[in-house]
Amino acid sequence: MPGPENADERINLVVLFGGQSAEHDVSRVTAAHVLRAIDPARYRVTAVGITRDGEWQLAAGATAELASGADAALTDGLAVDGAATSAAPVLSASQAEGRTVVLPLLHGPLGEDGTVQGLLELADVPYVGSGVLGSALAMDKAMAKQVLAHHGIEQARWLGLAEHEIGPYTAETVAARLGLPLFVKPCNMGSSIGVTKARTVEEVADGIRVALGYDDRVLVEETVVGREIEVAVLGNEVPRASVPGEIVPGHEFYDYEDKYLDDGARLLVPAPLGEHERTEVRRLAVQVFSALRCEGMARIDFFYEEGGRGFLCNEANTIPGFTPISMYPKLWQASGLSYPELIDELVRLALERHARRRRNTKR
């Protein structure tokens, strides 16, 4: 994307971070790294932090700290503090100054699930990432699995449970149908938060209780013995896939601590796969992206069951981790697209989609 000729032509980039989900701190770390990578000659940045209580605050102090080169700001993530504001003045002020794009870095519910996307649609503002339907569909793991099954995409065996359907014998029934051990997850959550590996019926029941602390719907899956392969996808109507990468967990499975707190996990980029396997998993990633109506970006996660069922789609993440050591930007870097170039491409895709939707929507 060519740069502006002067500062007046810079794009107004509103970076939303923090949020009300259990992934609040992950979002703060993501935002710190993204703001550090943004080219100030190309963008005029407004950083807006959303507190755990849902209040919007202008994070001017944190933005200035990053601009000054204070590396300490990256340690715990961008601070969610500043002058109180709301969506309307932030978006109207940015639009008044010229072209505006919103970059939502809100992982999890009330950010990655179509809620913020709906707000931005009503405000008629371009934004990075999937729209309302794609965001909501990918966020709800059980609904996503139903759609992927309809498209013939192989997955682990699973069951979805609503809170009102869960009774005293549910754990026994689930264990009998899927076998042990099992993974129990909240349907609408990411970063492995609320995930339990259950080896007994009692642990299944405990895992269900943990998952219900984050969502009123629970997903239970069989345990797959296989390699964890991830592919980054970028684009709108004609998406493209990165080289695949592999995660070698440092813990028994790739849980929250393994992702963000410890350094035991290894990320292999590109993944040590044969040419046929690389081609196949990239094809599947694009198929999943399109089936779930994703746009802009998504990271598609697979299990690779060698000698068995092959690639099994685990899930799609429409706002993946975006620090320089996160898999999504690392995969694109290995595919020839640098971190700043990736941000530029996502902004371009947001503007492209917004223009297309305005042409196709009567107002």
pLDDT tens by residue, the chain, 363 residues:
555 545 468 999 999 999 998 888 889 988 988 988 889 899 999 999 999 999 999 988 777 777 776 665 666 778 888 899 998 888 887 776 678 999 999 988 899 999 999 999 999 999 999 999 999 999 999 999 999 999 999 999 999 999 999 999 999 999 999 999 999 999 987 657 889 999 999 999 999 999 999 999 999 999 999 999 999 999 999 999 999 999 997 655 444 444 444 466 789 999 999 999 999 999 999 999 999 999 999 999 999 999 899 999 999 999 998 887 789 999 999 999 999 999 999 999 999 999 998 887 665
Task: Examine residue 17 and state whether it is found in any structural domain, yes or no.
Answer: yes
CA angle 280, 282, 283 (to 5 degrees): 65
Same domain, 173 and 94: no
- Residue 359, domain member (yes or no): no
212 contacts: CB under 8 Å, gap ≥ 6: 163, 166, 186, 218
Residue 99 lies in a domain: yes
Same-domain check for residues 205 and 237: no
**For residue 78, which amino acid is it?**
L
Question: Do 116 and 14 belong together in one domain?
Answer: yes
Which of 222, 242, 260 is the last residue before a domain boundary?
222
* Residue 186 domain-assigned (yes or no): yes
Number of domains in the chain: 3
Q: Which residues of 85-106 are buried (b: 16+ CB within 10 A; e: fewer)?
A: bebeebbeebeeeebbbbbbbb
| Closest alpha carbon to 10 in 48, 30, 47, 38 | 38
Please tell me whether residue 352 adopts helix, strand or coil conformation: helix
Q: What is the pTM of this model?
A: 0.90
Q: Is 48 in contact with 35 (CB distance < 8 Å)?
A: no
148 plus 245 within the same structural domain: yes
Q: By residue range, what is the domain housing residue 35?
A: 7-127
State the CATH number of the domain containing residue 11: 3.40.50.20
Q: What is the pLDDT of residue 71?
A: 61
Q: Are strands 196-198 and 83-85 parallel, antiparallel or unpaired?
A: unpaired
Helix (H, G, I), strand (E, B) or coil at 49: strand
- Nearest CA to 136 out of 293, 315, 287 is that of 293
Residues 188 and 263 in one domain: no
CATH assignment at residue 184: 3.30.1490.20
Q: Rounded to 5 degrees, what are φ and ψ at 217? A: -130, 140
Q: Is residue 320 part of a domain?
A: yes
Question: Which of 222, 257, 275 is where one domain is finished?
Answer: 222
Indicate the residue among 193, 222, 251 that finishes a domain.
222
